[in-house]
Amino acid sequence: MVDFYYLPGSSPCRSVIMAAKAVGVELNKKLLNLQAGEHLTPEFLKINPQHTIPTLVDNGFALWESRAILVYLVEKYGKTDSLYPKCPKKRALINQRLYFDMGTLYQSFANYYYPQLFAKAPADPEAFKKIEAAFEFLNTFLEGQTYVAGDSLTVADIAILATVSSFEVAKFDISKYANVNKWYENAKKVTPGWDENWAGCLEFKKYFD
């Protein structure tokens, strides 16, 4: 049994849902109400002392950090290695894109939007520039490419798709970045679990309305 502690609106949680769908793993989903402090209960702290979501528990093995979970799911349950190939160079490129998502792209989203949504802070133009820079980088990575790392769908596409779809509901204009826009339209069609990802995006969109 694979237990999954999550919130449907969270990009990192949505990436895990798509990866699980891609490898055919059924998740036993457990909603955590962060506002009610459910992530701070003694029971959950025993599972994940860092008290973050998503958190996966696979027959007693607990793991958090979404991008680590994506790799674990493919390595343990993937019928093939296509989503995270064993070739060191292919894998290194995927890892680079995953770290880019975590440290640059998703980070720029969090730094700009979360203070506005959760602390009622004014928009920071400098933080917005970081978003634009991140999209410029992604646009460059995708020059002449259908996928973000290599020539087929990988966990890097899944992670970045979850992030970019959050930018869409935040009304960031993705269309200004032609390569990203083209990749995004294709990724929506070819990524397993996209429908559930989008349903989660619409949950998240309520914060922006």
Which residues belong to the active site?
10
For 111, residues 6+ apart whose C-beta sits below 8 A from its C-beta are 124, 127, 130
| Half-sphere exposure for 33 (CA within 13 Å, toward CB) | 2
For 143, residues 6+ apart whose C-beta sits below 8 A from its C-beta are 179
Helix (H) / strand (E) element for 195: namely helix 194-205
Mapped onto helix, strand or coil, the DSSP state of residue 118 is: helix
Nearest to 7 by CA among 186, 166, 176, 191: 166
Cβ atoms of 204 and 7 closer than 8 Å: no
